[in-house]
Amino acid sequence: MRITRTSVFVDDQAKAHDFYTGLLGFEVRHDIPLGQFRWLTLVSSEDPDGPELVLEPDEHPAARAYTEALMADGIPTTSFTVADVEAEHARLTALGVVFTQPPVPTGPVVTAVLDDTCGNLVQLVSAQPT
């Protein structure tokens, strides 16, 4: 068994597409129109054959309640590993990305949390520099 896809509920697929591809650097794997929504999946440019991230519309009432509750409590919806959280924080901040938590050493890792502008907080993680 392996993970091939995981979802992030978003309030606007077009805005999420632009944020996750234009700022975070993901690449589109599938973009298939399905009525008013799309089957929109992304992959890491560093691992194009790896797991897909589905940008899932948050149209279901439970999805909205879930993401709104996590956002209100400051809890990230998902987590992405980066080589250097400090460098990624600086790069993304320069591009206008808003962070709700700057880089913080937490045991063996450094974490930071950003707002994806689509209803989610996303945690970035890297190994603690040695």
**CATH number of the domain enclosing 100:** 3.10.180.10
Spatial CB neighbours of 17, under 8 Å, sequence gap ≥ 6 = 28, 31, 40, 55
52: containing domain:
5-127
pLDDT tens-digit profile of 4-59? 999 999 999 999 999 999 999 999 999 999 999 999 999 999 999 999 999 999 99
* 3-class secondary structure per residue, 11-66: CCHHHHHHHHHHHCCCEEEEEEEECCEEEEEEEECCECCCCEEEEEECCCHHHHHH
The helix (H) or strand (E) run that includes residue 124 is strand 121-127
pLDDT tens-digit profile of 115-127? 999 999 999 999 9
Number of structural domains in the chain: 1
**Is-contact 9 63, C-beta < 8 A?**
yes
Q: Is the pLDDT of residue 128 over 90?
A: no
pLDDT at 29: 97
pLDDT tens-digit profile of 54-105? 999 999 999 999 999 999 999 999 999 999 999 999 999 999 999 999 999 9
User: What residue has token string 């068994």?
Assistant: 1
pLDDT at 22: 97
pLDDT at 71: 96
User: What residue has token string 């009432």?
Assistant: 61
Residue type, 116: D
Q: pLDDT band for position 106 (50/70/90)?
A: very high
Tokens encoding 129 = 């520099």
Burial of 12 (0-12, 13-18, 19+ CB in 10 A): middle
